[in-house]
Amino acid sequence: MSLGGIALATDFALLIVAAAVLSYAARLTGQPTIVAYILTGVVVGPIGLGIVGEDQLIEILSELGLGFLLFLLGIEMRFDDIREIMRPVGVIAVGQAVLQAIASTAVALALGFTLFQSLMLALATTFGATPIIVKVLGDKGDLKTLYGKADVGILIFQDIYLVLALAILTVGTVDDTAEIATSIGRVLILMVAIGLVAYAASKYVLPSLLRASAANKSTLFTVGIAWAFVFIFAAEALELSVELGAFIAGLSLAQLPYSTELKERMRPATNFFIAVFFASIALQMERGQLLAYWQEALLACAALLVINFGIVFGLFYSQRFDMETSFLGTISMLQVSEFSVVLGALAVNEGFVEEGILGFLSLMALVTMPISTYYVRYNREIFDRVEPFLSRFEREDTIEADPVEYEDHAVIVGYNRFTAELATLLEDAVEDVVIVEDGAEYVEELAEGDHEFIFGNARHGEIRQEANVAEADVLVSVATRDDVNRRLVEETPETISIVRTTTEASAQRLRDHGADYVVETAGLVGTELAELLATFDDREAFDQRLAELSERARSETLRANESVDPASTSRDDGRDRTRHRDEERDRRNDENGGETDV
């Protein structure tokens, strides 16, 4: 047995260091990291410096990365989020898939690809790039807007379509039509079977399994990973796509309360492995292959932007979305997705197409992804330019959708007697009281309680976003970690924030970073007792106060609700600002003679 060097001059180590350097550069220039990862493979692989070839570890991790990515995609599939606009979004997604496939096939044929290649390209290029759309819109805070939700909805439909495409691609090359039909039939039957197993598990096994594992931080994670691996392995053993198994595994966890926490815990490993995956794509490619069709790729990019804009915008408009939503929703979707590359890579592996086609797809992704981050980021500015031309087509009966996120709410991080008492006090003053807690022992109590409940640790940005911490009216945190409290108060400058901490030093730090009200337990207890002792010589007063304190400590019931008049609730500035923006938009729409959707 020998351990060998794991870092020195191994291909894997070089790949990671190069990816870190390039993604750092990408971050500084505002580019998506995926572009940096793909470029990493180009730079260190045979196309560029030629210092890294494929090795076993890279292969394992990239395969795992893809599996985990699909697993997370499955976990994210929460149908509740898009229920209200399910129908129009479904129409857009299906319409887009069909029309875009036809258009892409036509373009590819016109560029001189064979019919089979063209169909393959059409299959691969219909997706929007989830990481880019979700990341850039998330950074802009637009995910919960109407157009953001519509885009996320379309992406969910595309995911289903992607999974089917992956499943069918794994059938492999067969010549006989009957054989293809049997293979596809077999795939579909096995998929349904796995799906049924997963569904049954999510109903009967997973809730109690995860409840039991949520007691320990490593256990939830390991159980999640094991769950993913069981399905990944089952899919591999049944000669189905690994990605499909992972996706179904994720889907079966999606509707459970633990999903967000689990997803956030798995994200680092996924990010790490998926970086390896994207970087490894170009490792199998020669320069000639990447650039085999470079002219065609550039032409196709231009055609894709123009034609797809027309298709998607038309579909949005036909589904009675207003002009702004249609426009913003459309331009976010205009790029070649990482899944195009995934499908391309799989198609190459299965022998459907040659490496050149993968090069073509990678090149398109490399070109359209960076460009699209700019037009997604500046989408409103672009819209303001073109609005005069579009506004005359504005309809009157546009779709409206209520935001699914919390508003006028209070966020409580950590559940204990202190926060429970405050939650009762807050009940009438705010719309919702959202409790964020990751202790397994409270799950049942909180899930059935009167307040909203998010299972998870506030250290994750995603959890804070789900609770919409930044726009809460009131924040109460009893998080044990100082850095989590600091992040919370820094994210809530406009919010009334109450934080409990244990030392005077950290209390001072939190106050410096914007906490309104810091409760320091030791000091509180000390002062209370000092006050109590001051009455020690007046035995009656002392005994009465002590009895009162003891009674309250022993009683399970919370202090009687003191009702708060919601009308006089102080409005925080953040919301006022939002309202301003809305009013401004109303006015703008009025000036343009259109109706508002808000």
Interacting positions 509-528 with another protein (CB under 8 A): 511, 516-528
Q: Minimal distance in Å, beta carbon 141 to another protein? A: 15
Strands (E), 394-547: 409-413, 432-437, 452-455, 474-477, 496-501, 517-520
β strands within 344-431, DSSP E? 409-413
Residue 321 near residue 146 (C-beta atoms within 8 A): yes
Regarding 465 and contact with another protein (CB under 8 A), the answer is: no
Report the nearest approach of another protein to the CB of residue 42 (Å). 17
486 binds another protein, rule: CB under 8 A: yes
Q: Are 443 and 419 in contact (CB under 8 A)?
A: no
Site string for another protein, 523-552 (x = CB under 8 A): xxxxxxxx-xxx-x---------xx-xx-x
> Which span sits near another protein by CB under 8 A: 189-197, 326-334, 374-382, 502-510?
502-510
Binding-site member from 78, 144, 186, 267 for another protein (CB under 8 A) = 267
Q: Find the binder of another protein among 114, 173, 182, 216 (CB under 8 A).
A: 216
Nearest to another protein of 98, 215 (CB atom): 215
Number of residues that bind another protein (CB under 8 A): 115
Tokens for 84?
């209200």
480 binds another protein (CB under 8 A): yes
Does 21 engage in binding with another protein (CB under 8 A)?
A: yes
User: 516: closest CA among 534, 538, 499, 533?
Assistant: 499
Which C-beta is closer to another protein: that of 229 or that of 383?
Answer: 229
Residues in 293-352 at the binding interface with another protein, rule: CB under 8 A? none
Q: Kindly identify the residues of this chain, within the stretch 420-459, that bind another protein according to CB under 8 A.
A: 421-422, 425-426, 429, 459
Report CA 539 to chain centroid distance, whole Å.
Answer: 61
In order of 63, 119, 134, 256, 316, the CA distances from 153 in angstroms are: 27, 25, 11, 19, 12
Looking only at residues 218 through 257 of this chain, which bind another protein when binding is defined by CB under 8 A? 218-219, 221-223, 225-227, 229-230, 232-233, 236-237, 242
Q: Minimum distance between the CB of residue 312 and another protein, rounded to whole angstroms?
A: 28
In degrees and rounded to multiples of 5, residue 369 shows phi and psi of -60, -50
Query: Is the Cα dihedral 482, 487, 489, 495 positive or negative?
Result: negative
DSSP string spanning 463-501? HHHHTTGGG-SEEEE--S-HHHHHHHHHH-TTSEEEEEE
Interaction of residue 269 with another protein, rule CB under 8 A: yes
User: Dihedral sign, CA of 229, 233, 234, 236?
Assistant: positive
> Where does this chain touch another protein (CB under 8 A) — which range of 83-91, 178-186, 253-261, 413-421?
413-421
User: For another protein, which residue of 149, 263, 265, 409 counts as binding (CB under 8 A)?
Assistant: 265
213 near another protein, rule: CB under 8 A: yes
**Helix (H), strand (E) at residue 70:** helix 56-76
Instruction: Residue 264: name the closest of 231, 232, 300, 221 by CA.
Output: 221
What part of residues 43-72 is at the interface with another protein (CB under 8 A)?
Answer: 56-57, 59-60, 63-64
